[in-house]
Amino acid sequence: MLRTLNLPAPLNSETIKTLLLLIGGGVVATALHWLIGVAQRSLVRRFVTGVPIEANTLPPLRTLFFAWAGNAVRTAAWLLYFALVVNLIPQTRDRFGSVGNKIGDLRDSVIIWFLKDGIYVAIVIIVTIFLMRFTSALIKTAFTLFERSAVTRDALASRRRLQTVSTIFRGTVQSIILFIGLMTLLPRLNVNVTPILASAGVVGIAVGFGAQSLIKDLFGGLLILLEDQYSVGDTIKIGEISGTVENLTLRVTRIRGIDGALTMIPNGSIGTVSNLSKDWSRVVLDIEVDYSEDVDRAMEILFETARKMKEENPQNVIEEPAMLGVDKMSSSGVTLRLMLKTSPAKHFEIGRELRRRIKLAFEREGIKSPMPQQQLILSNPPGGSK
């Protein structure tokens, strides 16, 4: 008995042509993928090589641009090849044809929605963004003009206060404009804002009862700004914590200590604040000399050293030095007190330099400082030899 073999039908010319087109398209897409990579590397070597790149930093903007552009062109090439495959194979053509019809219907509905509500939504978004940016620039300009017109002795303090207050006001106004824009936009998107507003009122009452410390911090920060107690860049001392104000918001004050530690203090818990850079600062030096030295001569050397420093650094030493005279007489020596008025927060720097100059002047004039003395009393033990 003979068996009948089911042999595959021979390929017709149309099928062979389709296969050749698919293979040729794949080869072309692969070649384009490789050529785009070569062009991308060539452009990077031409326009980016030689630009210094520090360690632990982001790559240059040109490198990112070439990388994204190359990936976009490669993706476009493979999408074109995918579209060719879909159109050549009958099965995929029929399947994706229905998808194309759905995409077309979706496109028509999007166009209809855009003509009906989309233009209004776009206008609301554009106006909201414009008002946020415009009010931010307007507030910044207003604060700048106000600070320029105000008669202040220290321009640096004015700039610090401007930076702190204007930043907070701009953030607050932008938040209000954004909220109003959302409340205007959501009804056009068929979102009922009445439950949102009602729930916001309930949440506000709950937050008011449950976050009393937060409200206290906000009021404390507002009083700090209104009374100009301190601002960003000032050197202050709160309790046992001292340092430079790095950031100031309505809720918290961030202080950077001399050791680099960043301390965050809620404004509501701040009691007494010592501002070391408000209007002016002062260097107070207590210099101890030996009893054998001429006190009047030592005072004259101290005063002349401080006076020369004022002549050399008039922008930081704002008044003539004050030699107060003998402040204390101890068992080791005589303490002389000298005071020097400086620009805000410059007393540390001026004080260190003035101590160095006094040390050199005393060595040059032969003024001796008291040497530490120790007295050792030895007693014989009971019954010991005399």
Residue 342 contacts residue 316 (beta carbons within 8 Å) = yes
What pTM, to 2 d.p., does this model score?
0.46
The whole-angstrom separation of Cα 236 and Cα 240 is: 11
Predicted confidence at residue 57, as pLDDT, reads 42
Pairing, β 273-275 against β 281-289: unpaired
- Closest among 73, 71, 96 to 86, alpha carbons compared: 96
Q: What is the mean pLDDT of the chain?
A: 77
Q: How does pLDDT run across 87-133, given as a tens digit for each residue?
A: 776 656 555 655 556 666 666 677 776 767 777 777 888 888 888 88
The whole-angstrom separation of Cα 130 and Cα 171 is: 15
Residue 340 contacts residue 306 (beta carbons within 8 Å) = yes
Residue ranges for the chain with pLDDT beneath 70: 1-12, 48-62, 89-108, 113, 115, 146-164, 206-211, 372-386
| Number of neighbours of residue 86 by Cβ within 10 angstroms | 16
